[in-house]
Amino acid sequence: MAYSGCISREWSITKMGKLDGKVAIVTGGGSGIGRATALLFAREGAKVVVADITGKEKETVSEIGAGAIAAHVDVSISADIRAMIEAARGNFGRLDILFNNAGIEGAQAPTADCTEENFDRVIAVNLRGVFLGMKYAIPAMLAGGGGSIINTASIAGLVGFMNIPAYCASKGAVVQLTKTAALEYATQNLRVNAICPGVIWTPMVERFTGGTEEGKAAMAGLEPVGRMGTAEEVASLALYLASDESGFVTGTAIPIDGGFVAR
């Protein structure tokens, strides 16, 4: 006799997202790693505030559709950061995840030729921007019971690179800011981690190639695995750190670099 229970039962298969019910901010969300991460966070169920300085944040938001809003932000400006966090809370009621990812490479020159203006701007965006994001997001996250902050550092925050002194200094400092905040809030269900990408194929790296195939091959050749990473691969790491799957991970600076810093 056939098992009739199977025939009458209606199965409703609902895919659970890894970030269902969570609210995230992604800075630098108009391009590259930030864009890929905003799309992935939204696909995994998060409401997303996509922040950028270019206007491209609106393009990412239209790709996502419902459940995302754009914030036009210069991360080096305190008032912009505070407005961005208020946008998250005002529109979505809470803040669980901050992906502090906006960054610039600055001009290339050895230390003695790095202008003071270049040094100040790179530090303002890459370091002050991350600091301001944490400073104003932490109270909002604690008010909701905790959360996860992911700061984009770089392999350039772990080892030196010639001709980008301000960039290396900013990313090294992001690693230290990350560890400090992780310790400060460890008992309050607030985790803070840094990701340290290697050479990832985004508009930033495209600028380093000089727009040539030779330049592209040279950048790929820096990686032990023989290729550049993708923005989507970095987004997957950000998703892990944002989600509850990484509940015991805090204070880390994780290379995602095709083996670059293993040498």
Ligand X SMILES: NC(=O)c1ccc[n+]([C@@H]2O[C@H](COP(=O)([O-])OP(=O)(O)OC[C@H]3O[C@@H](n4cnc5c(N)ncnc54)[C@H](O)[C@@H]3O)[C@@H](O)[C@H]2O)c1
Residue type, 128: R
Q: Which residues pair with 254 in a beta bridge?
A: 195
> At closest approach, how far in Å is the CB of 220 from ligand X?
11
> At closest approach, how far in Å is the CB of 188 from ligand X?
26
> At closest approach, how far in Å is the CB of 182 from ligand X?
19
Cβ atoms 217, 175 nearer than 8 A: no
**Which contacts qualify for 216-224: CB closer than 8 Å, 24 or more apart?**
222/198, 222/260, 223/198, 223/199, 223/257, 223/258, 223/259, 223/260, 224/258, 224/259, 224/260, 224/262, 224/263
Catalytic residue among 3, 136, 167, 240: 167
Residue number, 143 or 162, with CB nearest to ligand X: 162
> At closest approach, how far in Å is the CB of 73 from ligand X?
5
Alpha helix locations (H) across 10-77? 32-43, 57-64
CA R_g for the chain: 20
Residue number, 17 or 240, with CB nearest to ligand X: 240
Active site residue 167: yes
Cβ atoms 56, 31 nearer than 8 A: yes
The CA-atom distances, in angstroms, between 124 and each of 130, 161, 237 are 9, 20, 25
Residue number, 11 or 82, with CB nearest to ligand X: 82
Residue number, 91 or 209, with CB nearest to ligand X: 209
* Residues at the contact surface with ligand X, assessed by CB under 6 A: 27-28, 30-34, 52-54, 56, 73-76, 101-104, 125, 152, 154, 197, 199-200, 202-205
Which of 110, 104, 125 has the alpha carbon at shortest distance from 164? 110
> At closest approach, how far in Å is the CB of 115 from ligand X?
18
Residue number, 55 or 145, with CB nearest to ligand X: 55
In sequence order, which residues have a C-beta less than 8 Å from that of residue 21 and are 6 or more positions away?
A: 45
Task: Enumerate the active-site residues.
Answer: 167
